[in-house]
Amino acid sequence: MTYPATLTQAFDIIRRTIPKMGTDRPAIGRGDLTYERCHNSHWVDGFWSGQLWLVYDETQDAVFMDAARAQRPYFIERLDRPESHDHDLGFLYSLSLVADYKLTGDEQARQGALRAADFLMGRYNPNGRFIRAWNDWENSAKNRGRMIIDSLENLGLLFWAAEQTGNPRYTDIAVAHAHTTVDYIVRADGSSYHSFHFDPESGEPLRGETVQGYADESCWSRGQSWGIHGFALTYRYTGDVRFRDTAVKLADYALARLPDDNVPYWDYLLPDDETPYRDTAAGVIMAAGLFLLVDQLDDAANAERYRDSARAMLDGLIAGYTTFDYPHAEGLLTQGASHVEKGYANNMLPYGDYFFIEALLRALGRTAFFW
């Protein structure tokens, strides 16, 4: 199936899901290809809104804008619940209020997104030079000194806020966090830790640890994909080749470990006796990141290599993992692996759906997104 035909099918599924979703948001797919809905402070809340805004931008059909706008009260209201905020403010607000502002110029959306950026900036640890990822779990202070690779995707909100306000502090924090990620999360061989701990007071680096990967020293494929996409974004904003070269290093590691259909397993260093679940979300995030990187490389042959790899990934996903044959499906891609250790594998995932659309649009040459 061609990319335009795939997008048409995907847009039809999103259109038919709008009345079913109402003001809810998809959280994780059920076995019958419907979606569980989000609770009221979920990290994935922005991905449905992000899909709606992307489709509106592409089609100019008001149905999609109206559905995205129906989500706005939730995102505005959530700003008044700081206890519901962690580093995922970028995922939440780049794909909702920033998207709204970029496409419609709405001032309430702009003000809300700037508030979200301020909350995100408030999570910066100046001694460790990183943005704290998560809040405390079950009265444990373990997360006070933790950064994670996923956070790179939240930096776009800070770069956008710097552009809007002229305040360089947003950029300084985003750049410092990105350098710390290169220094401690990325390993010499191009693989990555999921998270890294620092002493929360002194900022002294302590150790890497996984939460969603197979093991501390393995390489969680979705984290690797966040790194590829996130470092390429950081290069786009900063022009610092250290970030582009890191995205390339992470991409080369992952590309050398893809299975025959180019859809990643959930971890790149799984022992033979572990179930090799796929993670289609890791696949689409990486494909979108590779397309982003293609435009940033000076060397045409290298750029072509990454374009071919991204296409091969998309082709594998389209051939084997879409929901298109199921008229009641509420999402787009099967076989995402949200958190294998907790029993979440083989599910549709809203971030898989969002990045599927982003990757397909990037494959067709679109360059304007909300990050």
Residues marked as catalytic: 88, 150
Q: What tokens were used for 219?
A: 């390489």
Could you say whether residue 100 binds ligand GLY (CB under 6 A)?
Answer: no
- Shortest distance, CB of residue 151 to ligand GLY, whole angstroms? 9
Residue closest to ligand GLY when measured from CB atoms: 150
Binding mask 326-355 for ligand GLY (x = CB under 6 A): ------------x-----------------
- Shortest distance, CB of residue 222 to ligand GLY, whole angstroms? 5
Could you say whether residue 210 binds ligand GLY (CB under 6 A)?
Answer: no
> Which residue in the block uniquely carries the two structure tokens 């709606």?
52
Nearer to ligand GLY, 212 or 234 (CB): 212
Candidates 86, 100, 150, 358; binder of ligand GLY (CB under 6 A) is 150
Q: What is the DSSP string of 185-233?
A: TB-TTS-B-SEEEE-TTT--EEEEE-SSSSSTTS-BHHHHHHHHHHHHH
Could you say whether residue 267 binds ligand GLY (CB under 6 A)?
Answer: no
- What part of residues 101-130 is at the interface with ligand GLY (CB under 6 A)? none
**Measured between alpha carbons, how far is 371 from 290 in angstroms, rounded to an integer?**
15
Are residues 154 and 131 in contact, defined by beta-carbon separation less than 8 angstroms? yes
Nearer to ligand GLY, 221 or 262 (CB): 221
**Measured between alpha carbons, how far is 279 from 281 in angstroms, rounded to an integer?**
5
Could you say whether residue 212 binds ligand GLY (CB under 6 A)?
Answer: yes
For residue 258, give the amino acid letter. Answer: L
Q: 251-258, long-range: CB within 8 Å, 24+ apart, which pairs?
A: 251/286, 251/289, 251/290, 251/293, 251/306, 251/309, 252/190, 253/189, 253/190, 253/191, 253/219, 253/224, 254/221, 254/224, 254/225, 254/228, 254/286, 255/309, 258/313
- Shortest distance, CB of residue 338 to ligand GLY, whole angstroms? 6
Could you say whether residue 222 binds ligand GLY (CB under 6 A)?
Answer: yes
Reduced to 3 states (helix: H, G, I; strand: E, B; else coil), residue 239 is coil
Nearer to ligand GLY, 11 or 193 (CB): 193
Q: Judged by CB under 6 A, how many residues of this single chain contact ligand GLY?
A: 4
Nearer to ligand GLY, 57 or 153 (CB): 153
- Shortest distance, CB of residue 341 to ligand GLY, whole angstroms? 12
Residues that bind ligand GLY (CB under 6 A): 150, 212, 222, 338
